[in-house]
Structure 1
């Protein structure tokens, strides 16, 4: 079942809709939450192995740290289901405040966590628990932020305004990389391993407070206000989604698997692979990732604006085909260990990631009616996240550990991006 939101939008008084302000607030809050999430991935690639899993080999330590990284993805559907339920019944705005608080408290907790040398096995156990709580927070974040932006937007600009919270992902990655670059440049390896790695986690407290102030100033979604006014809330929106919209959930999850898997290999695993296997400079790869993330961020609103003008199908299909090519070529190019080629590979990957990621928020929200939109969009997105980025760094690490070659990683990435290409073909056909 697909949804025409024109009638919903006409029911909203235009004077009450301030799409740019809401979209900007969504971008800022989302960037803060994803900063929290990404500093974990960077720390997993750099320090969590020796600090929390010191009794195993370096390769096994990296694998173990990325396994804890994946735990956060297992929690994301829990956050999506719980906050999606209350977001469809109580409101989008309140869930965004709760998700930001949840993420911030867990992130600061990681920054205060004793290591294995201090409390033994409880250190990795508590790390896993806090990572799970992070996953719950970010699991409820995406659906609310996207819907606030899309549901406040005028009908012909929904993809563009929906891209603002999407920009929060590379925005958070850029911020995380800048913080890590500043610390690694100013501290010795010993100081960074001893205490410096904690600074990005503890600094989250200040940013979360700023994000809460911003989020509390925006108005509730007009589409949700219409639902409340018409007393159309459902008792169990999640059950309705599973019963009536399971095809949309499956297709949206499939459409997201490829970009999410490639994206998390790009954002997290390549740092560990480039430094430990290819022996490239850590600061060099962090800088390259930072530059590529700027390209990713810039392409997102451009691709979304093209979607508003030309439609979802041509933009998403172009981006999805490009991602298959990137999946096939990324590691063969990176394996040359030539800095110029490595940077080129990351830039091209970032370009096509932006083409897909920009319009996908509006695509997901367009699949579900307002009464179940938070639950449906969140569930599809988070299932795609688990099957994509949730396991990608762990799978990539395991494949290289087993085969001592990046070729199996390439085959894996090509496979998941092909799944997404087929899903995009099917889902855009349903929405025409």
Structure 2
């Protein structure tokens, strides 16, 4: 069967299950966006946690635990490098075959890549092929995420009432704390309930198997929205159509570049409070990983609440004002963070609590922070490229850089890394403000 025939079948099934002849409500838009983002973040957090708990032992047993984790974080970064490549590929698919074909292929690739990790053989079984397979599947995740961009977040924000733009911009970001909560909960359950031998033999694989089911649900939820006539009309009205990448970059390179750095503080903090502290606790303390995973679950709930609050604050004070203020607070937190993380039980709890509050407030408004500066015809492709580069610069190498710096120069060096992210965010926001003024004057 051709790709278009298969996708048409999925579209029909999505309509049959969800439509019932009723118009789509704004609440359904929000639900579709949140489900889609949750599936994406779940896949990434499952790998991130396994990169600390499992892969150093399973895939890199020929080096010590620290070096194995460094290698695992290097593979972690491959998805962020591959993501812009995925956008280039799937924008071409979108222009040729349509948004629903692109989404179907991308989400199946994402789910398949993640589930396949659950079947990975160990290094002891197949040698260096285990490393090659892990890297290949991680690249598959990144390419798929580039294709998973559907424009729904932009559509939701652009059609939001003027006074509630911050609230609607926040909704897609809820997927991150939800994804972390589910991924951490699954790993915590298996780590705590299974003997170590059973966990490494089969227990760690189950969270990866869950990914496929979540991705199928996300696919149907998103197809329900993007294939309907109402949404096609809205996409066309807002000019959210894929444009040629070269043309978009030529016309919007300044905005894309600034947009890549504007959320740097938020995206750096993203993995500094989720992935890096788990590696630090496991490598440099005697604490049980199950306990810290529970703390991460609590942190995810705090981050969820802070993300919701960010929508209210952004509508009251403005998105750029909120992002700039939180960037300053993140810079202050970066100075205190190393002392907190190395300060025992209470210090760890404060580190995670404060970190997730700042993460939620900043991440809730970080998506498309400068997207409004893009010309309408370039907004769809430009937003996708901006998001890809922001994740690459801000989050892709954060766990690796923080662990390398901390292992060599001490924990304070990781705080310096986070501080630099806050500085870049403030510079990018200031330059974008000046760029916006020039555009208005013209």
TM-score by length of 1: 0.89
Larger CA deviation: 39-48 vs 255-264: 255-264
Question: Of residues 297, 306, 313 in structure 1, which corresponds to 2:313?
Answer: 306
Cα deviation digits, residues 169-190 of structure 1 (max 9, x gap) = 1110111001111111211111
| Aligned-partner Cα distance in 1 for 2:137–2:123 | 15
Pairing 1:73–2:67 present: no
Give the 3 Å change call, closer, same or farther, for CA 303–142 of structure 1 in structure 2.
Answer: farther
| Aligned-partner Cα distance in 1 for 2:393–2:121 | 31
Q: Counterpart in 1 of 2:46?
A: 39
How far the C-alpha of 1:266 sits from its partner, in A, is 1.4
| Aligned-partner Cα distance in 2 for 1:111–1:197 | 8
Question: Of residues 69, 72, 95 in structure 2, which corresponds to 1:62?
Answer: 69
Q: Counterpart in 1 of 2:180?
A: 173
| Aligned-partner Cα distance in 2 for 1:229–1:389 | 33
Larger CA deviation: 245-254 vs 279-288: 279-288
Q: Counterpart in 2 of 1:408?
A: 413
Asked whether the equivalents of residues 223 and 370 of structure 1 are also in contact (C-alpha less than 8 Å), the reply is no
1:246-395 → structure 2 map (5 Å cutoff): 246-337=253-344, 339-395=345-401
Cα deviation digits, residues 365-416 of structure 1 (max 9, x gap) = 323234222221121222121122111111122223333x112222122112
Secondary structure of the equivalent of 1:112? coil
Larger CA deviation: 138-147 vs 168-177: 138-147
TM-score by length of 2: 0.87
Give the 3 Å change call, closer, same or farther, for CA 19–398 of structure 1 in structure 2.
Answer: same
Asked whether the equivalents of residues 61 and 68 of structure 2 are also in contact (C-alpha less than 8 Å), the reply is yes
Q: Counterpart in 2 of 1:10?
A: none
How far the C-alpha of 1:309 sits from its partner, in A, is 3.3
Q: Counterpart in 2 of 1:425?
A: 430
Q: Counterpart in 2 of 1:6?
A: none
Q: Counterpart in 1 of 2:11?
A: none
How far the C-alpha of 1:231 sits from its partner, in A, is 9.2
Q: Counterpart in 1 of 2:112?
A: 105
Q: Counterpart in 2 of 1:225?
A: 233
Cα deviation digits, residues 200-242 of structure 1 (max 9, x gap) = 00121222222222222224597863664799967x4312221
Secondary structure of the equivalent of 1:73? helix
Asked whether the equivalents of residues 371 and 379 of structure 2 are also in contact (C-alpha less than 8 Å), the reply is yes
How far the C-alpha of 1:22 sits from its partner, in A, is 0.7
Gaps of 5+ in 1: 1-14
| Aligned-partner Cα distance in 1 for 2:227–2:430 | 34
User: CA RMSD for the aligned pairs?
Assistant: 2.5
| Aligned-partner Cα distance in 2 for 1:90–1:146 | 21
Asked whether the equivalents of residues 92 and 148 of structure 1 are also in contact (C-alpha less than 8 Å), the reply is no
| Aligned-partner Cα distance in 2 for 1:267–1:229 | 39
Secondary structure of the equivalent of 1:361? coil
